[in-house]
Amino acid sequence: MTATRAQTLTCTGLRVATTGGREVLHGVDYAVAPGEILALVGESGSGKTTAALAALGHFRTGLECTGGSIAFHGHTETHDDLLTLPAATLRGVRGRLVSYVPQDPALSLNPVLRIGTQVAEVLEAHAYDGDTAARVREVLGDVGLPTDEAFLRRYPHQLSGGQQQRVGIAAAFACRPDVVVLDEPTTGLDVTTQDLVLDTVRDLVTRSGTAALYITHDLAVVAGLADRVAVMQAGEVVETGTVEQVVDAPEHPYTRQLIAAAPDLHRAVEKDVVPTGDGAGAPLLRVSGAGKRYGAKTVLDGVDLELWPGECLMLLGESGSGKTTLARGLSGLLELDSGELSLNGEPLATPRTYAQLRSVQYVFQSPFASLNPRRTIASSLEVPLRHLTDLEPDARRARVLDMLGQVRLDSSFAARYPGALSGGERQRAAIARALVTAPDVLVCDEVTSALDVSVQAAILDLLAQVRRDLGTAMLFVTHNIALAREVADRIAVLQGGRIVEQGPVADMLADPQHAYTRELLEHTPSMRVAG
């Protein structure tokens, strides 16, 4: 891609501030050419979404533009500055010349509108002159969805997550816009689905000559997709360049940090070898024949699993594979229908004794839901101590502060509420709460999937340190095989409620036996730039 070509969208010196006067964007510049994908990369709070939404002339409530301009040169129309257009003209621009694909397709599609109607709505809003029904079919075909009448008459909840997102993309491309803004469109999706959606985007952009702005926090996704990358940090673009330059020879320290944080299957990781398998004595936690049904649906179907002392077992599976059900069953959060659980050779009773509750602890996926917003951090951490141990109040407080230190939160966090903490800090607090009773087994359920890549790296680092210092065995539940080398000693792959393959990390990555494992490995984005 050459920079000399006429740019479709040129943003210069964009400044945005809160109505309270705090500046969030300090003069952001970016430009996108036709047929080009520019990735805006940064962590949450870096202003990447604000900068990209400005291309639609939109600022979220509480934000206002204080300077800069966005010039637009499309196939049919030219606007010198989108930011100064009157509201009525701007409405005509949105969806027709510049369109938007939101992050969560489940939230952005109207649940009571049929798919056909939903896509046609954009065309009708902009008085499409032509056969609306035909265009709807055409654009759905473009994103690789069926175009028959039965599909058009479906409701969003009858579609899978990947299909929903492709409907969102179809609606965005329906009016043949010159610019498309994609706001982390693959965040909630499985790797295989993510790959499919990314291919769709790449294909559409190239074919229609659309300029695309792709917002993401994950450099690995960008490496295979984008032409150029703009790295944002704290409201400024710190580095811009072609994807090869940025990924292979990053100049700014922040970019290097982001690249180092991205999990990579091909990077060698040094870590202590923990004896696992039959050589390590008796298994700490053993499950045999675990089964769980919800009505007619079988979620777990005879799962056998062993966790050895001190090891980290990665339980890998896509959404719906039953991995959360299994993890919760092991932690005593829900009752399994069948199967036997034993801890240290003793069967786990239902309900569990306090000692058993204490020795298996569970960390929830989302730190935004797992801490009571009305409790201070210290008070949340004290709950397990108060109910599962006999410690005196003074000893409990000392233990809480000690634990906060272990997860690298200083004592000032003790009196704060979760609302005043960032996602990473909250997850640290949640991990501290799980560790406060000194458990033998820590079950981590997708603990990093709600977090940015850079924060994820810090959390993984923390977990590794906890294992080193405390020797806690860990069951790491995830959908992301890319984390394997950094986290796990062994991998167990769960598909449709059954363990289809398990073994040591190195063997599994080098020579996967099951087709499903191979498929997951194949679709995992890597930092290597696509050829």
Partner 1 sequence: MSAPAVPAGLLRRTFRRRQARIGAVLTLVIVLIALLGPVLGPLLTGYGLDDFAGRPFRDDGIAGTDNLGRDVLTRFFAGGGPVLLYALAATAIGIVGGAVAGMLAGYSRGRLDSLIMRGGDVLLSFPQLVLALLAVAVLGSSGWLLVLVIGITHIPRVARVARQATLAVASQDYVLAARMYGVPRRRILTTEVLPNITGPLMVELGLRLTYSIGYVASLSFLGLGVQPPAADWGLQINENRIALSVAPWGVLLPVVAIAVLTVGTNMITDALAKESADTTGEVA
Residues that bind partner 1 (CB under 8 A): 331-333, 354, 357, 362, 364-366, 369-376, 380, 383-384, 387-388, 412, 415-420, 433
Q: Which of 21, 16, 69, 71 is nearest to 46 (CA)?
A: 16
| In the complex, minimum distance from the CB of residue 64 to partner 1, in angstroms, rounded to a whole number | 19
Q: How big is the chain by its Cα radius of gyration, in Å?
A: 25
| In the complex, minimum distance from the CB of residue 363 to partner 1, in angstroms, rounded to a whole number | 9
Comparing CB distances to partner 1, the nearer of 172 and 443 is 443
Q: Give the helix/strand (H/E) hosting 288.
A: strand 285-294
| In the complex, minimum distance from the CB of residue 422 to partner 1, in angstroms, rounded to a whole number | 11
β-pair partners for 504:
490
| In the complex, minimum distance from the CB of residue 408 to partner 1, in angstroms, rounded to a whole number | 17
| CA dihedral of residues 341, 345, 350, 355 (deg, nearest 10) | -130
The SS3 of residue 428 is helix
Q: How far apart are CA 402 and CA 436, in angstroms?
A: 9
Q: Is the separation of the CB atoms in 187 and 106 below 8 Å? A: no
At which residue do the structure tokens 């990209």 appear? 52
Distance between start and end Cα atoms, the chain: 14
Q: Is the separation of the CB atoms in 521 and 512 below 8 Å? A: yes
| Strand 441-445 relative to strand 473-478, pairing | parallel
Max Cα distance, the chain (Å): 76
Comparing CB distances to partner 1, the nearer of 96 and 426 is 426
Comparing CB distances to partner 1, the nearer of 331 and 478 is 331
Comparing CB distances to partner 1, the nearer of 401 and 521 is 401
| In the complex, minimum distance from the CB of residue 417 to partner 1, in angstroms, rounded to a whole number | 4
| In the complex, minimum distance from the CB of residue 21 to partner 1, in angstroms, rounded to a whole number | 16
Q: Which residues are CB-contacts of 531 (< 8 A; sequence separation ≥ 6)?
A: none
Comparing CB distances to partner 1, the nearer of 214 and 364 is 364
Comparing CB distances to partner 1, the nearer of 293 and 416 is 416
Q: How far apart are CA 486 and CA 448, in angstroms?
A: 13
At which residue do the structure tokens 């320290």 appear? 253
Comparing CB distances to partner 1, the nearer of 207 and 387 is 387
Comparing CB distances to partner 1, the nearer of 23 and 304 is 23
| In the complex, minimum distance from the CB of residue 506 to partner 1, in angstroms, rounded to a whole number | 34
| In the complex, minimum distance from the CB of residue 383 to partner 1, in angstroms, rounded to a whole number | 5
359 φ, ψ to 5°?
-85, -15
User: Where do runs of H (alpha helix) occur along 213-363?
Assistant: 219-225, 243-248, 253-261, 323-331, 354-359
